[in-house]
């Protein structure tokens, strides 16, 4: 990077690294923008013009995306913000001086807004955003973006006998919620809906298997999957993508109080299957399983669930990739990998062998909610597969959805993992639908 400080303007020159091409070059440009954040801020620009010369077509959009995503901060509860203290502001205006279409510009604007939306939800503490609060925010987002939201209260959830969601909620003083999101344009390209499921645990103490040490400190972010699904719906609806999309978000916290469910309990799920509780800290898969089995009423083409589900996924891939497990047609997984490379929210496949079912076999119920120490991410995925009557892709974002420090433009605590990936995936799917079906 070259910085030129003239009397009337500042000029920043960023070069694409030699020997780097394709999606890696695009990521380097996003990271370069993030690296410039502090310098740009210190110069207190009122306006920043972004242009390119002799580079790839999306360079300006990629640089803008990296810059916008890197300048995010959650300051809602600061009585005096850092900008007020320093007297410095980020650029008041960004001007993209390049051949970028109006639709592409709108997509970039809405997509970065969606990531901000997801990050804001993730960063809200549970005393400010409990189950009812999250359901309200999802409804408010639907009104703004143009998709419908229906929220089931505890009475409705009890009438449906969603035993997983109700059991996890038993230790809480706040009732659960179950959110149904739908985007159905006038002429969708698909006759059967694509269905997204997001884990909405607004705070996870571990329940009676309570978390220890620092393992609880970031657990307000255990609803990152729900935030991602909400952000995806925002982007798809705002851009009028011609794809019928349904979303299911079960919402609760997981606490050890009251009549909290306990290891050894046997619960009955929405689809009548019985589950032996081996560990109350394996709660996410219980509420997701109810949602996944409820999804059958929509006869979806494909179910995609996204969740901060297992420490095993984080240990396996760190913050470099989401763990993907699937029994769906390979065309969906291949497109998801391709889109993951494009936005650099990469997915890495884990095997879905039937033999892994042995680890969650129960002697007293149909299935156990946890296996042994080995292959924890896979056995969690196999647990969810037991409740899916339609093809499913399971995305475990435990490593990418909660960060302990900034990773360039991926901000710590709540980077909004999955919003960009799934938004681009669904957009590309709508554009190529007839080719791959």
Q: How far apart are CA 318 and CA 435, in angstroms?
A: 35
Contact 423, 241 (CB under 8 A): no
Question: Which candidate, 213, 181, 214, 184, places its Cα nearest to that of 197?
Answer: 181
Query: Tokens 């408010």, residue?
Result: 140
Contact 236, 185 (CB under 8 A): no
Number of neighbouring beta carbons within 10 Å of residue 140? 11
Kind and range of the H or E element at 68?
Answer: helix 59-70
Active site members:
211, 285
Print burial letters for 157-166: b (CB count within 10 Å at least 16), e (below 16): beeeebbbbb
Q: How far apart are CA 21 and CA 31, in angstroms?
A: 14
Contact 393, 352 (CB under 8 A): no
Contact 261, 170 (CB under 8 A): yes
Contact 243, 430 (CB under 8 A): yes
Print burial letters for 65-76: b (CB count within 10 Å at least 16), e (below 16): bbbbbbbbeeee
Question: Which candidate, 424, 396, 423, places its Cα nearest to that of 319?
Answer: 396
Cα Rg of the chain, angstroms? 22
Question: Which candidate, 290, 295, 264, 311, places its Cα nearest to that of 176?
Answer: 290
Kind and range of the H or E element at 367?
Answer: strand 367-368
CA 52, 56, 58, 63: dihedral to nearest 10 degrees? Answer: -50
Note the Cα 382 to chain centre separation in Å.
20
| Beta strands, E only, 207-301 | 245-254, 266-268, 274-276
Question: 206: which 2 tokens?
Answer: 């571990």
Q: How far apart are CA 19 and CA 21, in angstroms?
A: 7
């Amino acid at each position: 990077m070259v910085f030129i400080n003239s009397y009337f303007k500042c000029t920043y020159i960023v070069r694409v690294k030699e020997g780097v091409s394709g999606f890696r070059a695009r990521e380097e440009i996003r990271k370069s923008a993030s690296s410039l954040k502090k310098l740009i801020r210190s110069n207190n620009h009122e306006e920043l013009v972004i242009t390119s010369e002799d580079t790839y077509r999306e360079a300006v959009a990629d640089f803008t995306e990296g810059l916008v995503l890197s300048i995010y901060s959650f300051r809602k509860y600061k009585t005096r913000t850092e900008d007020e203290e320093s007297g410095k502001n980020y650029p008041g205006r960004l001007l993209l001086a390049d051949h970028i279409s109006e639709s592409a510009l709108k997509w970039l604007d809405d997509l970065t807004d969606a990531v901000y939306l997801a990050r804001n939800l993730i960063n809200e503490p549970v005393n400010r955003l409990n189950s009812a609060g999250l359901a309200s925010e999802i409804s408010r987002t639907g009104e703004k973006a143009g998709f419908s939201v229906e929220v089931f209260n505890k009475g409705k959830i009890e009438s449906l006998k969603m035993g997983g969601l109700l059991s996890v909620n038993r230790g809480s003083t706040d009732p659960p919620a179950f959110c149904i999101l739908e985007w159905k344009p006038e002429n969708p390209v698909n006759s059967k809906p694509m269905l997204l499921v997001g884990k909405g645990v607004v705070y996870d103490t571990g329940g009676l298997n309570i978390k220890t040490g620092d393992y609880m400190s970031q657990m307000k972010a255990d609803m990152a999957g729900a935030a991602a699904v909400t952000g995806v719906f925002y982007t798809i609806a705002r851009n009028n993508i011609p794809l019928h999309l349904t979303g299911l978000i079960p919402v609760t916290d997981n606490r050890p109080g009251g009549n909290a469910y306990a290891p050894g309990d046997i619960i009955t799920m929405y689809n009548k299957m019985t589950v032996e509780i081996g560990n109350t800290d394996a709660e996410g898969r219980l509420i997701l399983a109810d949602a996944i089995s409820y999804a059958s009423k929509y006869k979806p083409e494909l179910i995609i669930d996204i969740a901060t589900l297992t420490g095993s996924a984080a240990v396996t891939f760190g913050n470099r990739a989401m763990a993907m497990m699937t029994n769906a047609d390979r065309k969906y997984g291949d497109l998801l990998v391709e889109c993951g490379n494009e936005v650099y929210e990469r997915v890495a496949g884990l095997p879905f062998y039937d033999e892994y079912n042995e680890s969650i076999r129960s002697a007293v119920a149909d299935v156990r909610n946890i296996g042994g120490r080995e292959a924890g991410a896979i056995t969690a995925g196999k647990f969810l597969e037991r409740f899916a009557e339609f093809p499913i892709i399971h995305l475990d974002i435990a490593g990418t959805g909660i960060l302990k420090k900034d990773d360039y433009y991926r901000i710590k605590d709540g980077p909004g993992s999955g919003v960009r990936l799934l938004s681009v995936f669904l957009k590309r799917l709508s554009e190529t639908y007839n080719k791959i079906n």
